[in-house]
Amino acid sequence: MKIAVLALQGAFIEHEKKLEQLGATCIELRQKSDLVQDFDGLVLPGGESTVQGKLLKELDMFDDLQKRIQDGLPTLATCAGLILLADRIVNQDQTYFSTIPMTVKRNAYGRQLGSFHTIEEMKGLGKVPMTFIRAPYIESVQEGVDILSKVNDHIIAVQYKNQLALAFHPELDENNSIHQYFINMIKKSTR
């Protein structure tokens, strides 16, 4: 199983380490020529969504990745990655891939000082450690979006088709259950 990790900016190496521990092979997407490789899944890591969106366009990678996600490529998106998938962003006209019908609020928990760690229930996984760093949350979702977890009444994890979007950083905690869940999603989609 080969998983592509968007490696333009942000916390991509930590995702690679988790996935490799679970037996996956990872490749990094840094330029358009990296997209000629076959891969079974995609990780959109945390970082700065504005920077990632801009680089995806400048490097001519945006349209190809958007089409693959729309066509069902299993995708794990964390923090900034979640923002890239939202079809609506509060107080921002521009969206990016727009592949999940949800409204996202950026930096919803404030600045870096508003970062926090908690352990909460996640549908199908039980209690999961969650690290939030300048995190967004999901204000609302449309039909077909499965809410997997909430923290303080805010939606922080959803699944829509083959897209798993999280407001937190599972790559920063020792628990591997979310990355294993993503690998299982990939296995189901390739049957």
Identified catalytic residue from 14, 16, 79, 179: 79
Task: Please confirm, yes or no, whether 169 is among the known catalytic residues.
Answer: yes
Question: d(Cα 37, Cα 58) in Å, to the nearest integer?
Answer: 20
Query: Which of 176, 147, 166 lies closest to 45, judged by CA?
Result: 166
Q: Which of 15, 171, 174, 179 does the annotation list as catalytic?
A: 171
Residues sharing a CB contact under 8 Å with residue 72, sequence separation 6 or more, in sequence order: 161, 162, 189
Which one is catalytic: 14, 16, 26, 169?
A: 169
**Cα angle vertex 5, ends 149, 162, to 5°?**
45
d(CA 161, CA 23): 24
Active site positions, annotated: 79, 169, 171
